[in-house]
Each structure stands twice: as structure tokens, then as C-alpha cells.
Structure 1
Amino acid sequence: MRVAFRHGRNALIAVLGSGLMLAMPPAQATEGFDPARNAEARALVDELAAQGIERAWLVSAMREAEYQQGVLDAMSGAVEHHLRWDEYRDIFIQPGRVEAGAAFIDEYRDAFARAKADYGVDPAVIAAIIGVETYYGRYTGDHRVIDSLATLAFYHPSRGDFFRGELAAFLEITRKQGVDPLTLQGSYAGAMGYPQFIPTSYRAYAVDFDADGIRDLWHNPVDAIGSVANYLARHGWVADATLVTDAQGPQASPDDIDFNRTQKPYVSVATLAESGIEPVASSPLDGATQVIPLALDFANGETRYKLGHNNFYVITRYNHSHLYAMAVTTLAERIRNAMEDEV
């Protein structure tokens, strides 16, 4: 689950812009995060110790955390770049990722079957999320999580409080789970494991799906499968419900319709019909049905329409981007088709 800011008609994704990078580390960064010398680190240790976490363990962990200028560069150097749907789609929808997704479901078929039984979530959607996030666990990040979170917690100019909360959650999680906080790696923003949960999401939604005593999203795909299913279920997933309905409409998307908003279905089918956008004949919907109108742009100027339903909205709770949700939806469909072809 990436820490990102994506809004509007054309989803905005973060890419690195070297011209915005911070040239020099803050002077106080040379002090590191040793609570004996860093007042903010000491305050965090005091806070967590008051909650019952062993002080000596906290001090030892923070003393070993290292300032990473590259993490701040990545965050401060992010610029927003407009992507069309076909550009975004091509990043994630390739034959190799589809085939690997089908193989992933086959390898862990029992876990996926339990996730469907316990949470009602489609195995192909679970696999697609993990496939988009980390290519089924192949690429989970190469930044030490404690370094990233400590750097962002104490030196990010505008989001320090947010990342301080993530650092506190990370220390709490690793202590309770008996995991060495100095060994875990993730994204530069502190997202972790197969599903790229940030620490507060781990704390709220991770499950020990194989009952081995640890909620291990870093090395255990079974726990990751159950945790993604739990996350979606807790956000309102409806078993066996449709994700999107194909629609048709004018070449130029109507200005009176607010497309691609990542919120609960908010426009009726009847209202869309007044602007010339209707479900395709093979997928009729009642006029009172509320949907999320999606307008997907292509390089040739074509616009294709989809109507998102509740479960599409639920996927946007994982990542607040309509393009992300469309990529997951499309990858899940391709994975299902690949598995049917193998039968």
C-alpha cells in the first residue's frame, strides 16, 4: 500500500524529480537517533515505554537507526505526473504478471480458498493486489524500514507527525511479534511485505492466517493473502458482487459528470443516461443504481467508459487512485481467464 496522493480525472502518480531534491541533510541529522542525544527520539521512547514497551529495547533500536537523505530526496523530489489509463495499464498488465498471478493462486490454493470462505473476497482480486504491489513478493523494497520511518518522522518538513505515528506503530509491532526491527526492509515510505502495508495498516488489518503465532507479511504469503482479504472485507467488500460494468457514451466525456472520483458510488445510472452514458446492452442496470463513472483515456484520443460498483470503491481504500483500482480489476480478470484456460 503506497503512501501517495492521487486525485482527479487523470490519476496522478509520484515520480522522482531530481530538481526538487534536498541537497544537504539537516545539520542535526549527524546526531542520529540515539535517544541520549536526540530529544525527539527520546520523547518517542518515553511515550512507548509508558505504554509498556521495554525502554532498553527501544533505546537499542533507535540508537541503531540511521538517517537516510535518499528517503527525504525521494519524498521531497516527488512530482505529479499525469498518466493516461493505457500508460498506467501497461505498467502492470503484462503476460508475465498474469501468468505469475495464476501460478501464485495455484501454489497457495488452500489459503485463497480459506480467504474466500472467511472473508468473501475473490482470490483473483487478492492476487492482483499483491501482484500490483510487489509482483507476488518479488519486489518488496530495499530500504530498512526503521531508517526510512525515523528519517521521515523527525525530518520530513510537513508529514513528520504522520510518520512519527508509523514509526511508533512499527516499533510496537516488531516488539510484540518478536521480530528484529533492524532487519526488515520495505519501500522508502515504510510500506512493508508482500502487500505493502504501512505499520498502522499492519496493526489494524494483518492476520496470522496460518496460525503460527506471528502475523508475518514479510516472508509468509499465506498471512499476506489473509491480511489483504481482511483489509478488503473490513472496508465493505461484498462477496461475489460485480466490480465494474462496461458502458458506452460520447467520444468526448461530458463536462457535467464528475468522473473518476474515489468515493462511494455517487451518481445514478439514470443521471448518466441523461448525458449519454449508459451500460452496454449486455449488462443492463436499474436507473436508480448508484455507480462511480469512470472515463479512461487512451493515446489515440479514445475515451472508454466503465461504471464502478461498491467493490471497486473498496479497492480504492487500498490505494486512492481510480487507475490503481482499474489495474487491479483488469489484472484480476486476466488471472481468472488464464486459470480457466488451464482447466
Structure 2
Amino acid sequence: MKLLLRNHTSTLLLALALAGLALPPAAVHAQQSAKAAKAAKAKKARKAKTPPPPKKPAVDYEGEFVNFGQWKEVKQFLDDMAAKHGFDRLELETLMGKVRYVDSAVQLMKPAPPGKPKNWQAYSKLFIEPVRINGGVRFWDANRDALARAEALYGVPAETIVGIIGVETVYGANTGRFRVLDALTTLAFAYPLAPQRTARMEFFKGELESTLLYARQSGIDPFSMLGSYAGAVGLPQFMPSNIVKYAVDFDGDGRVDLRNSPSDAIGSVAAFLVAHGWNRDDPGPIVYAATVSPSRQWERYLNQGLEAKFRQEDLMADGVVTTSSLPAGMPFGLVDLQNGSEPTEFWLGTNNFFAITQYNRSFFYAMSVVELGRAVKLTRQQM
């Protein structure tokens, strides 16, 4: 009986449609419901046939097992850790048996082939750009209280902290997904052939030591620490030794978490800068634009270390000129930002500029932090 009624209804709807007559509301509703049910059924079928997206791997590399625990240099390192810090030697050997060799870290540490001359304008475009500027505004708004507290406690302006975290990880978007223990062990004992290879291996051995100490102190599995291919951790990309020395529990939860706590990252960046010479009493900008005379007497101020140590009077006498007045009695360093075939930019850097270079020993890096911080602050003020 139901089948006859359904067929009758279908015949009636077809006749009305052929006659050009409007369908009654009930018929329209029935027709729409039938179409919706059919579409839902088709969607469900397609979904059933579509395989789920592949699961994202826990780390960004394929680690190779090479049994680091059998290497002579590694055995000596483990002996030293047991004797110096009281680690259980057998536990360390078991831990090292789980470490993987990271070839991508080795490849990334190889010296770059000779290329184009340094170009500040090209470099700066990678960092002073809309994604980082807009992300900086959001980060500042979301963490305004922690930034204000860090500025009050340490004397480091919010824009400088925002600039560093923006340059380092785009406010936590790119913190790295390498197991720190894998990366540091690889670089400590299998660093590629390169200038200063021995010194670099000693540096990474020190970072590996700090990783094990920090993990024990914090009560965490050292394999749970994720970071960059060079072992840097969290929003501010602190090396493990810097976590031990300078990181602070700025959110007051009883632990330092640079990967998941923006507050801890903010306080730790400020603490690091103060420990490396940041002076809250320095007035005015961090850098001052300058020009130089054709005499080239000013060249003796270049490549003189990462510190502000020259008197204004001497700089001016040798042909360095600024477009704005300088604070009386403050020392400066001459900063040259090369632009390839274009003219070099010159600036006078303060103590606070050179404190930023202790985070990354590069004028390009420090200037990117300054310019990104300025851009974020200006954009935020205009909103």
C-alpha cells in the first residue's frame, strides 16, 4: 500500500512539473528532504572511501641507530658525567643506547659554499614582514601583562622581547621537532669536518651535559625535550646551558617551560639580556643611524668585538656622523650592515644593541630584532 502511494505521489509531482504548475509546499518539502538525504548518503560514502590523513611523525627526521654507547669518546663522556655529577653510569649507558644519529643536523652544520656577498636588505625582508609583524601584535596583546611585568622588573622594553621571540620562532610557530638528546649527541661526537670542528664539538658536549643536568633537575625524560637541529629549545630557542643559567619560572607554576609557557619565555629572554649587559638606564634608541666620511679613518672601529667601547668624540673626529644628537658620555660601537653591491648602512650601537648580539653573534640578527620590534609596536599603536 505504501509503495502504491509513493508511486502515485511521484507520478503526480512529475505531471505538475510537466504542466509548468507550482508544486504544493508539502511536495516541495518532500522533494528537498529526498535530495538532502541522497546528498548526505553520498557524502558519507565518499568519506568512508577517503583514507585518514597520515599521522604527523613525532620528530622531523629519521634517526639512525649507531650505538653511540660503544664509541670511545662517548664512553669517556659518560665516565665524566658519573664522576663529576653523580649520575648512575649504567643508567647513562642505557640512555645512550636509545639515542639516534641525526644526519640532517650534520648536513645543516656543514659550511655553506661561497655565495653572494652579505645583503642586509635581503636578510631583513625575511623577518620584518607581515606574518611576523601581525603575529607580534597578537602575541603582545595576548601577553601584555607578562611583557609589562618583565619591562618593570628587568628594564627590557616589550618590543625588544617581542622582536627576539618573533625572529627566533615566529612566536612559537617554529620551535623545532628534533629530540634534543639526539641532535646534541650527534653534533658532540660526529660534527662534520669544518673550521673550528674541535671547538664546536666541545661546545655541543657542554650542551649535552646541560641537557642531562636539566632533565634530572626538572624530573623529566630527557627524550621529551624537543627543539631545533642544533638543540635550541622553546619559543626563545634557548640552548640547554642557557636554560640552566638564565631561564625563569615567570608564570609562577613551579617549573620552567619555554616550549608551552609564553610567560616563562618572556621572563627568560629579559633575564638573559640583563645578564649580558642590558642597561635599563640607557636613554633613547638602541641604535642611531650614521654616515661615514670618504676619509675612511672610521674603518679602525670596525670588527672590534661585540661591545660599545668608543667615545663619541673619537668617532666624530674620524668621520662618523649621526643625524640625531647622542646621549652625552655614552660609548658606542660602529655597526656596518653590508648590502651586496649597494652602499653599506652604518649605525652606532649602544650597550643594549650589543647585549642582543650575545643572543646571536650577528649584526644582522640584532638589527632584525630591533626593526621587527619597532614595526610591531608601531602597528599595534595604529590599530
TM-score normalised by L of structure 2: 0.74
Unpaired runs of 5+ residues, structure 1, are 1-28
1:54 is displaced (CA, Å) by 4.4
Residue 127 of structure 2 is aligned to residue 92 of structure 1: yes
| Counterpart position of 1:59 | 93
Shift of 1:275: 3.3
For 1:246-285, what aligned pairs fall within 5 Å after superposition?
246-250=289-293, 256-259=299-302, 261-280=304-323, 282-285=324-327
Structure-2 residue corresponding to 1:165: 206
What whole-Å deviation, never above 9, does each CA across 1:59-84 have from its counterpart, x for those lacking one?
A: 34222111122222221244465422
Which residue does 1:129 correspond to in 2?
A: 164
Letter in 1 for 2:100: E
Structure 1 window deviating more from structure 2 (50-59 vs 206-215): it is 50-59
Q: Within 2, Cα distance between the matches of 1:176 and 1:121? A: 28
- Contact preservation (8 Å) 1:61, 1:182: no
Considering only aligned residues, what root-mean-square deviation do their CA atoms show, in Å? 2.4
Q: In structure 1, what is the Cα distance between the partners aligned to 2:145 and 2:353?
A: 25
> Could you tell me how far apart the structure 2 residues matched to 1:224 and 1:303 are?
34
| Equivalent residues of 1:128, 1:332 under 8 A apart | yes
Q: Deviations over 1:241-282 (max 9, x none)?
A: 3311122334796563433654221332222223332121x4
Alpha-carbon shift at residue 112 of structure 1 (Å):
0.8
Structure-2 residue corresponding to 1:243: 286
What amino acid is the match of 2:339? F
1:182 partner amino acid? F
Q: Are the equivalent residues in 2 in contact too, given 1:257–1:272 (CA < 8 A)?
A: no
User: 2:292·2:298 contact (CA, 8 Å) conserved in 1?
Assistant: no
Identify, as 1 or 2, the structure richer in helix.
Answer: 2
Choose the corresponding residue for 1:303, options 327, 344, 352: 344
Pair 80,309 (structure 1): closer, same or farther in 2 beyond 3 Å: farther
Q: What amino acid is the match of 2:275?
A: R
Q: Is the 8 A contact 1:253 1:295 kept in 2?
A: no
C-alpha displacement at 1:312, in angstroms?
0.4
Residues 4-34 of structure 1: per-residue CA shift (max 9 Å, x gap): xxxxxxxxxxxxxxxxxxxxxxxxx964123
Are 2:108 and 1:108 aligned? Answer: no
SS in structure 2 of the partner of residue 128 of structure 1: helix
Query: Structure 1 residues 224, 117: closer, same or farther in 2, change over 3 A?
Result: same
Residues 183 and 30 of structure 1: CA distance in aligned 2, closer, same or farther (over 3 Å): closer
Specify the SS of the correspondent of 2:167: helix
Question: What's the offset of the Cα at 1:179?
Answer: 2.2
Secondary structure of 2:229's aligned partner: coil
- Decide whether the 8 Å contact of 1:217 with 1:223 is kept in 2: yes
Structure 2 CA distance, aligned partners of 1:236 and 1:212?
28
Instruction: Name which of structure 1's ranges 257-266 and 110-119 shifts more when overlaid on structure 2.
Output: 257-266
Question: Percent identical across equivalent pairs?
Answer: 38
The equivalent residue for 1:48 is: 81
- The question of whether the paired residues in 1 share the 8 Å contact of 2:292 and 2:321 is answered with yes
Match of 1:76 among 110, 124, 127: 110
C-alpha contact 1:58 1:171 (8 A) present in aligned 2:
no
**Structure 1 residues 255 and 236: alpha-carbon distance in aligned structure 2, compared to 1, 3 A threshold:** closer
Q: Give the secondary structure class of the aligned counterpart of 2:145.
A: helix
One-letter amino acid matched to 1:62: M
1:291-330, aligned counterparts within 5 Å?
Answer: 291-298=332-339, 301-330=342-371
Q: CA 1:154 to 1:249, structure 2 compared with 1: closer, same or farther past 3 Å? A: closer
Provide the rounded CA distance (Å) in 2 between the counterparts of 1:31 and 1:340: 54
Instruction: Tell me by how many angstroms 1:290 deviates.
Output: 2.2
Larger CA Rg, structure 1 vs 2: 2
Alpha-carbon distance in 1 for matches of 2:268, 2:112? 29
Q: Describe the superposition over 1:93-126 as per-residue Cα deviations: whole angstroms up to 9, x where unpaired.
A: 1022112112111101111111112111111101
Q: Distance in 2 between matches of 1:52 and 1:169?
A: 14
Kindly provide the amino acid, as one letter, of the partner of residue 125 in structure 2.
Answer: D
Structure 1 residue identity aligned to 2:288: T
User: Match of 2:279, as an amino acid?
Assistant: V
Instruction: Report how far residue 138 of structure 1 moved.
Output: 0.6
